[in-house]
Amino acid sequence: MFSSRVPGDLEPNRLTRAVRRARAAGTALLDLTATNPTTAGIRYPASILESLASPAALRYEPSPLGLPDARAAVARDYARYGINVAPERLVLTASTSDAYSILFKLLCAPDGDAVMLPVPSYPLFDHLTRLDGVRSIPYRLEYHGRWAIDFETVDEGWTGAVRAVLAVSPNNPTGSMLTGAERAALAERCKARDAALIIDEVFADYALSAHEPSHPDRQKAKGKREKGLEPSECLTFRLGGLSKSAGLPQVKLGWILVDGPEALARGALERLELICDTYLSVSTPVQRAAPSLIAAGAAVRADILDRIRNNDRELRTLAAPYPSIQVLPCEAGWSAVLRVPSPRTEADLVIELLERDGVLVHPGYFFDFAHESFLVVSLLPESPAFVEGVGRVLERAHA
């Protein structure tokens, strides 16, 4: 879960204990790690969850890949990106984490097979692979003015046990997007080595610049009528869900879009049907409500987008007078990365911020940054608290 530059669990436990002490003492904290939209002052339509009480949900009709109306609603939502998706290529899941577990079961034999994971990235992936008995092999993203895949680490880390490569676009926390060339290079390797490509697109709606679309297919389809997906050279799984696209993590609905050569995609869907039939993890009420939830989520998404763009602008304005602190470029997502001076460790700095300034931020090692010193802040908190917290972070990091 944590970078090898942290000695065992020493630093994570130290930070965890400090947070617990602060909360037990009733210390008022400015939490710049908060990423739960339901507690961040985001505006939700009062009626947004009413559709979950539909009488139709009282009738249980198991459908392993998802009810047809719900899959059709997700497929229609892809039209926002200017592309046409066949509902038959969609598999509904209870969450993105659930989707990962299903795919690991589909692609990997336990206690031997492996998945390649990007670093830096969110530490959840290491837990998910372990819980399914799958080994994880890291490949690195390197920063040289922008984050890009270090393909040497992909090739050096690749073994005969690799069954899939995971890419996150936009990445959490770097906010970087896969370029077309990077996607093609990953797909080429997966095709040649009989592996699948998994692309996590849960933050695809949250470009931080109004001029740049965050979803790759939105750029391709710009100025065109709806079209089909650009065919992938390898078996490809693209993940999304209401947790981010509609700001509804509590309703538990995600999906897998199956792409790639027809024979491979069809075979994967047949095997996925068996796996999903074994668990039937998606509730009937949320599937019946899916069309309404997706439609209502547009207003929530717009409010979140306005919040993160405003906070991103505030952060960069506030950081401008501090030449020793760099706010790294970020294309999309809910996080921002600060590179700060290194007179003390990230762990010491984060604990100083907590205990002396009442501000909670993530250290870079939490996301497996390769070296010191990085801080990661969420762009989702309400703006007054965000501005106050960032001001304290900049003063402490600069000191």
Per-residue pLDDT tens digits for 249-285 = 999 999 999 999 999 999 999 999 999 999 999 999 9
- For the domain made up of 60-297, give the CATH fold: Aspartate Aminotransferase; domain 2 (3.40.640)
Q: Where do the structural domains in the chain lie, given as residue ranges?
A: 10-43+298-398, 60-297
pLDDT of the residue at 232: 81
Structure tokens at 43: 């505006």
pLDDT of the residue at 227: 46
- Those residues whose C-beta lies under 8 Å from the C-beta of residue 344, and which sit 6 or more positions away, are 352
Residues of the chain with pLDDT under 50: 1-10, 219, 221-228
Per the CB < 8 A criterion, the answer to whether 84 and 59 are in contact is: no
pLDDT averaged over every residue in the chain? 92
Residue type, 55: P
CATH homologous superfamily of 10-43+298-398 equals Aspartate Aminotransferase, domain 1 (3.90.1150.10)
pLDDT of the residue at 17: 87
**Three-state SS across the chain?**
CCCCCCCCCHHHHHHHHHHHHHHHCCCCCEECCCCCHHHCCCCCCCCCCHHHHCHHHHCCCCCCCCCHHHHHHHHHHHHHHCEECCHHHEEEECCHHHHHHHHHHHHCCCCCCEEEEEECCCCHHHHHHHHCCCEEEEEEEEECCCEEECHHHHHHHCCCCEEEEEEECCCCCCCCCCCHHHHHHHHHHHHHCCCEEEEECCCCCCECCCCCCCCHHHHHCCCCCCEECCCCCCCEEEEEEHHHHCCCCCCCCEEEEEECCHHHHHHHHHHHHHHHHHHCCCCHHHHHHHHHHHHHHHHHHHHHHHHHHHHHHHHHHHHCCCCCCEECCCCECCEEEEECCCCCCHHHHHHHHHHHHCEECEEHHHHCCCCCCEEEEECCCCHHHHHHHHHHHHHHHHC
Strands of 254-259's sheet, edge to edge? Answer: 90-93, 254-259, 236-241, 196-200, 162-168, 114-119, 135-143, 147-149
321 to each of 257, 390, 391, how far by Cα in Å? 45, 13, 11
Structure tokens at 347: 């762990």
pLDDT of the residue at 13: 76
pLDDT of the residue at 12: 58
- Those residues whose C-beta lies under 8 Å from the C-beta of residue 76, and which sit 6 or more positions away, are 294
Per-residue pLDDT tens digits for 116-155 = 999 999 999 999 999 999 999 999 999 999 999 999 999 9
